[in-house]
């Protein structure tokens, strides 16, 4: 009970911190752009009026209320801020690799607002990223959805507080490598992965019942029931079963994807998104029917065995089969040109402009449960916007300005080159990195491997 | 019982030929040679301007003619009206063919044990049947430089065309001895050496490089004087750099290292090429002055320093080209070499311009490799490495309609395409049957 009180106090403390965070909201009138609304077609020579961080009007010949700056976007394209449904940017650590289920861990506790990767993502038009736990565990930690409000030193400012909870799951090579082969504990196989999931959810059901029984008994007069011990890990699994958390599951092979669909259906879970999903195309009808779709790479393959039988046509096949499909980065490099990654679905599968743009805007918004707030240019939505020179799906396109909540955080014309918020006073010579560790899905699991396998750690996704 | 078994086998044997013939559906499309007339296209020659309503005749593996009135006699005519013909793209730095699945060590053949192994031949380890090769060539990348990596002198790189069943059939006529110049950069965040340790490691590596060079000079002098030498394959290969038979390709990236490498080659009578050159833009003038060509990239890459502008890697090739450096672009990739046109396009958009970026994946590498009479442009007499595209092949949505390599018409199929064909409209779909 004492523990529980501490927990409550901590929670209260946190909620005050979050409530007190005053994020900046801006007002601006962007004029004469080709407006790619994504959900409501393309509007030529149109204006978008933003007030206090919200899109107030979309139309022609709008005039700026007094005090609102006007930006001339003649000849340029305006699109919704790009949303990356899989990223590890701005996280201090990624993996809590100590057990096959670590549902209690929260990425919002390790958000690093100083990481220059946030600014670099903005320079690629990305306004929201889904900062995920790694893939070392079958049930990983809870992810956090970030809004790229660059410049604040308060982690709370870059967290999208009105986004729903999501959690990382992982199937296949990574969890079996870390636990089965690294530590000699279940799971070592895809059979074990299923067992971990089913055992975990059944334990959560028992836990839920214990609390229900206790609550019922304690409402009776003169009861002497002792409360069950609070368990954050099991409570989180209960929250998943009750539909309060969206699962985002790292997955590659069709069989494991199909397995999780079956587990989810057996436990009545329908808030399920697959991540990476390289063989999703093989079970596209099932993904379309039973899940919130898949978030995939545009063209990555062959970096490990479970992605050897991949196709760059994955996103197109999923889309044509009716699955909600998004294109993500999982990379500090790729996140900077997701508009180009989305365009690859036109080379590989002939997607229309609207389909391709949806994959980096409204579709990831749906998968993160924030489609009512962002992901398209519609009146009433949050003003996350990007101005492009050239159509964003052209390989020659260049993001010019990026807005979050109507505040400009990137401007190609006026920004300084050096965007670091904090420079180490002890760092005499700035280090030069030839191979930026930009893929971090398996970061923090190196301890579990011998030196030989460490050298093979180029591929961590 | 025994007799029964014998009878059973006899029965099986009798049916074997029949079984072998039966039940093979479909036909595998192979690359095929012949005489082809690519008719009525816009030909972007790279070296001789852009020619509209022009045809290209392919014969005996070569571009036989480029013109407006070419006889179709005996040729398979391919109508290219409304389409564009470009020379095949050259990727100046890959591990294509040396890696099948990166995380599976057994399929990685680019890094041999040892620090001084210039005699390791990348060409030997190229797998002509790698799944990544057909995946790459349908993008219009027809030729790649395949590079070993690892120690100080990890081996010898080779240029290959992406058609053929043996490495020799693929070999495109250029090799270079690779040197990894001692690097002051960190290999990644896991590289936690102190600045001092890095400096010490560098000094040690440079000392070793100098010793190897001196030894190679001695070896070369003795050999050219007709001395009988003990079997020493490492020095035998290094001596080819001294004699001018092979150029040396120096991988060098940090600005300070580039300057040191320029100093190191000063007074050395050999052909040098720099590769990587990530921070080339910081010292572009010095590289230009030394007249050293560069194989730069990847372009779609993060800046090397936290303080750098976000687009430092995008703008690097353009800045070097403007300073007067001869620039070729590479992906430094294996399974993603097909993205070469996009790397080049990013360089184009960020300062290099389309024309220079096209040169950086065609005629520039051809010139740097000493093969400009064979590759890098659409001109009569050159090897028929050609792309036919619906539009500028750099553009993401462009569809590559035909690819020719060494005059072979390349089937536009690979694993990715076959999986698309099988699974787009799966049967059975959601419900059983």
In whole angstroms, give the CA distance from residue A330 to residue A323.
20
Q: What are phi and psi of B211, to 5 degrees?
A: -65, -45
Of A288, A436, A459, the CB nearest to B302: A436
Residue B96: both structure tokens together: 């294509």
Instruction: Work out the pLDDT band at A253, boundaries 50, 70, 90.
Output: very high
B83-124 pLDDT per residue, tens: 999 999 999 999 999 999 999 999 999 999 999 999 999 999
Please tell me the distance in Å from A275's CA to the nearest CA on chain B: 19
For the domain spanning B30-87+376-433, the CATH number is 2.30.40.10
Residue A426: both structure tokens together: 């002890």
Contact check, Cβ <8 Å, B279/A302 = no
- A380 sits in which H/E element: none
Concatenating the DSSP letter of every residue in A126-161 gives EEEEEE---SSSSEEEEEEEEE--TT-S-HHHHB-T
Mean pLDDT of A31-36: 98
**Is A308 near chain B, with CB under 8 Å?**
yes
Q: What are phi and psi of A429, to 5 degrees?
A: -115, 130
In whole angstroms, give the CA distance from residue B3 to residue B25.
37
- Determine contact, residues B115/B151, Cβ cutoff 8 Å: yes
Is residue B1 predicted with pLDDT exceeding 60?
Answer: no
Contact check, Cβ <8 Å, B424/A417 = no
**Is A446 near chain B, with CB under 8 Å?**
yes
Question: Is it true that the peptide bond before B428 is cis, omega within 30 degrees of 0?
Answer: yes
Contact check, Cβ <8 Å, B396/A317 = no
Is residue A71 predicted with pLDDT exceeding 90?
Answer: yes
Cβ neighbours, 10 Å, residue B59? 17
Question: Is it true that the peptide bond before B298 is cis, omega within 30 degrees of 0?
Answer: yes
- Integer CA distances (angstroms), A300 to A54, A159, A422, B222, in order: 36, 29, 34, 51
Contact check, Cβ <8 Å, B349/A123 = no
Interface probe, candidates B104, B138, B302, B413, chain A, greatest A C-beta count within 10 A: B302
In whole angstroms, give the CA distance from residue B403 to residue B365.
20
Q: What are phi and psi of B21, to 5 degrees?
A: -80, -25
Closest by alpha carbon to A240, among A263, A212, A215, A257? A263
Domains of chain A: 81-219+231-375+439-454 (3.20.20.140)
- Integer CA distances (angstroms), A383 to A25, A55, A81, in order: 9, 5, 8
Dihedral sign from CA coordinates of A344, A345, A349, A352: negative
Contact check, Cβ <8 Å, A456/B103 = yes
Write down the pTM of the prediction. Answer: 0.94
- DSSP H helical ranges for B244-279: 255-265
Contact check, Cβ <8 Å, A398/B306 = no
Instruction: Work out the pLDDT band at A457, boundaries 50, 70, 90.
Output: very low
- Determine contact, residues A294/A258, Cβ cutoff 8 Å: no
Instruction: Choose the weakest-confidence range: A316-320, B71-75, B392-396, B428-432.
Output: B428-432
Residues of A in contact with B105 (CB under 8 A): 456
Q: Which residue has the tokens 């390791």?
A: B120
Exposed, middle or buried, B321 (CB in 10 Å: 0-12/13-18/19+)?
Answer: buried
Beta strands at A385-389 and B76-79: parallel, antiparallel or unpaired: unpaired
In whole angstroms, give the CA distance from residue B422 to residue B411.
17
Closest by alpha carbon to A435, among B332, B146, B136, B112? B332
Contact check, Cβ <8 Å, A430/B305 = yes
Interface probe, candidates B193, B347, B348, B396, chain A, greatest A C-beta count within 10 A: B396
In whole angstroms, give the CA distance from residue B253 to residue B212.
22
In whole angstroms, give the CA distance from residue B361 to residue B351.
16
Mean pLDDT of A152-171: 97
In whole angstroms, give the CA distance from residue B331 to residue B276.
10
Contact check, Cβ <8 Å, A120/B420 = no
Range(s) for CATH 3.20.20.140 in chain B?
89-372
Dihedral sign from CA coordinates of B168, B362, B265, B154: negative
pLDDT of residue A442: 72
Please tell me the distance in Å from A260's CA to the nearest CA on chain B: 16
A107-129 pLDDT per residue, tens: 999 999 999 999 999 999 999 99
Strand partners, A247: A167, A272
Q: Which residues, in sequence order, are CB contacts of A182 under 8 Å at separation 6+?
A: A445, A448, A449
- Integer CA distances (angstroms), B73 to A37, A390, B36, B56, B76, in order: 54, 44, 10, 13, 9
In whole angstroms, give the CA distance from residue A134 to residue A457.
15
pLDDT of residue A394: 98
Contact check, Cβ <8 Å, B310/A429 = no
CATH class of domain segment(s) B89-372: alpha beta
Mapped to the 3 state alphabet, what secondary structure does B180-244 carry?
A: ECCCCCECCCCCCCCHHHHHHHHHHHHHHHHHHHHHHHHHHHHHHCCCCCCCCHHHHHHHHHHHC
Helices and strands (H, E) in chain A, number of each type: 14, 16
Please tell me the distance in Å from B396's CA to the nearest CA on chain A: 6
**Is A296 near chain B, with CB under 8 Å?**
no
DSSP state of A162: T
Instruction: Choose the weakest-confidence range: A67-71, A230-234, A261-265, A443-447.
Output: A443-447
B384-428 pLDDT per residue, tens: 999 999 999 999 999 999 999 999 999 999 999 999 999 999 999
Mean pLDDT of B154-178: 98
Exposed, middle or buried, B367 (CB in 10 Å: 0-12/13-18/19+)?
Answer: middle
In whole angstroms, give the CA distance from residue B169 to residue B163.
8
- Order of strands across the sheet that contains B294-296: B89-94, B141-146, B155-161, B171-180, B248-252, B272-276, B294-296, B327-329
| Proportion of chain B above pLDDT 90, given as a percent | 89
- Determine contact, residues A171/A249, Cβ cutoff 8 Å: yes
């Amino acid at each position: 009970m004492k523990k529980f009180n501490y927990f409550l106090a901590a929670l209260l403390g946190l909620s005050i911190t979050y409530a007190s965070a005053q994020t900046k909201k801006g007002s601006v009138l962007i004029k004469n752009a080709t407006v790619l609304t994504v959900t409501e077609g393309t509007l030529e020579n149109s204006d978008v009026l933003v007030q206090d961080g919200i899109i107030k009007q979309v139309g022609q010949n709008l005039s700026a209320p007094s005090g609102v700056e006007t930006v001339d976007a003649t000849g340029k394209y305006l699109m919704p801020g790009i949303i990356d449904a899989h990223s590890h940017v701005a996280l201090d650590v990624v993996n809590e690799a100590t057990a096959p289920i670590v549902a209690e861990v929260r990425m919002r506790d390790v958000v690093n607002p100083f990481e220059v990767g946030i600014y670099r993502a903005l320079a690629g038009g990305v306004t929201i990223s889904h900062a995920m736990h790694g893939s070392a565990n079958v049930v990983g930690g809870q992810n956090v959805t970030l809004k790229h409000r660059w410049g604040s030193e308060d982690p709370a400012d870059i967290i999208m507080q009105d986004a729903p909870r999501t959690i990382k799951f992982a199937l296949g090579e990574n969890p079996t490598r870390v636990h089965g082969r690294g530590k000699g504990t279940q799971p070592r196989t895809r059979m074990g992965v299923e067992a971990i999931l089913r055992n975990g959810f059944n334990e959560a059901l028992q836990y839920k019942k214990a609390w229900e029984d206790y609550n019922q008994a304690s409402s009776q007069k003169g009861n002497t029931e002792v409360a069950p011990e609070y368990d954050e890990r099991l409570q989180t699994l209960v929250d998943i079963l009750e539909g309060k958390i969206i699962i985002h599951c790292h997955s590659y092979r069709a069989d494991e994807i199909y397995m999780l669909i079956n587990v989810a259906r057996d436990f009545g879970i329908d808030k399920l998104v697959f991540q990476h999903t390289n063989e999703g195309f093989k079970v596209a009808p099932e993904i379309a029917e039973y899940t919130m779709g898949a978030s995939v790479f545009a063209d990555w393959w062959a970096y490990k065995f479970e992605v050897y039988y991949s196709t760059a046509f994955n996103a197109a096949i999923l889309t044509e089969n009716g699955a909600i499909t998004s294109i993500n980065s999982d990379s500090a490099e790729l996140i900077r040109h997701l508009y180009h990654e989305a365009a690859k679905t036109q080379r590989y599968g002939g997607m229309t402009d609207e389909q391709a743009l949806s994959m980096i805007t409204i579709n990831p918004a749906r998968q993160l449960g924030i489609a009512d707030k962002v992901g398209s240019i519609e009146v009433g939505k949050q003003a996350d916007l990007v101005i492009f020179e050239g159509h964003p799906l052209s390989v020659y396109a260049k993001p010019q300005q990026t807005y979050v909540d109507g505040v400009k955080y990137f401007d190609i014309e006026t920004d300084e080159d050096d965007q670091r918020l904090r420079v180490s006073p002890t760092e005499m010579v700035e280090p030069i990195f030839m191979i930026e560790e930009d893929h971090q899905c398996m970061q923090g699991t190196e301890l579990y491997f011998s030196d030989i396998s460490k050298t093979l750690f180029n591929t961590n996704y | 019982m025994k007799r029964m078994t014998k009878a059973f086998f006899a029965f099986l044997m009798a049916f074997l030929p029949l079984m072998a013939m039966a039940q093979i559906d479909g036909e595998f499309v192979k690359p095929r040679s012949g005489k082809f007339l690519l008719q009525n296209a816009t030909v972007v020659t790279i070296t001789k301007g852009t020619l509209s309503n022009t045809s290209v005749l392919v014969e005996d593996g070569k571009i036989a003619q480029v013109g407006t009135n070419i006889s179709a006699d005996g040729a398979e005519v391919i109508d290219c009206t409304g389409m564009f013909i470009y020379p095949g793209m050259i990727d100046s730095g890959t591990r294509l063919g040396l890696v099948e699945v990166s995380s599976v060590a057994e399929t990685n053949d680019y890094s041999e044990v040892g620090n001084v192994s210039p005699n390791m031949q990348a060409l030997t380890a190229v797998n002509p049947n790698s799944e990544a090769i057909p995946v790459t060539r349908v993008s219009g990348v027809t030729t790649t430089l395949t590079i070993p990596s690892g120690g100080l002198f990890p081996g010898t790189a080779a240029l290959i065309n992406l058609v053929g069943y043996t490495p020799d059939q693929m070999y495109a006529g250029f090799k270079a001895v690779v040197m990894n110049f001692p690097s002051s950069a960190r290999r990644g965040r896991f590289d936690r050496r102190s600045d001092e340790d890095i400096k010490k490691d560098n000094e040690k590596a440079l000392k070793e490089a100098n010793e190897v060079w001196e030894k190679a000079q001695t070896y070369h002098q003795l050999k050219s004087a007709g001395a009988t030498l003990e079997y020493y394959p490492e020095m035998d290969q290094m001596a080819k750099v001294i004699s001018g038979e092979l150029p040396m390709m120096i991988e060098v990236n940090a600005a300070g290292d580039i300057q040191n490498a320029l100093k190191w080659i000063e007074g050395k009578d050999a052909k040098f090429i720099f590769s990587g050159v990530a921070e080339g833009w910081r010292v572009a003038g010095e590289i230009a002055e030394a007249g050293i060509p560069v194989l730069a990239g990847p372009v779609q890459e993060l800046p090397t320093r936290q303080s750098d502008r976000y687009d430092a890697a995008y703008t690097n090739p353009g800045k070097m080209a403007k300073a007067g450096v001869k620039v070729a672009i590479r992906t430094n990739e294996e399974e993603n070499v097909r993205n070469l046109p996009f790397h080049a396009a990013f360089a184009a958009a960020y300062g290099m311009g389309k024309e220079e970026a096209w040169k950086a994946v065609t005629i520039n590498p051809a010139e740097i490799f000493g093969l400009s009479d064979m590759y890098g442009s659409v001109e009569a007499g050159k090897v028929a490495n050609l792309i036919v595209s619906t539009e500028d092949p750099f553009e993401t949505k462009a569809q590559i309609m035909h690819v020719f390599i060494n005059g072979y018409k390349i089937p536009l199929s690979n694993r990715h395409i076959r999986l698309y064909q099988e699974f787009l409209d799966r049967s059975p779909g959601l419900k059983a049957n």
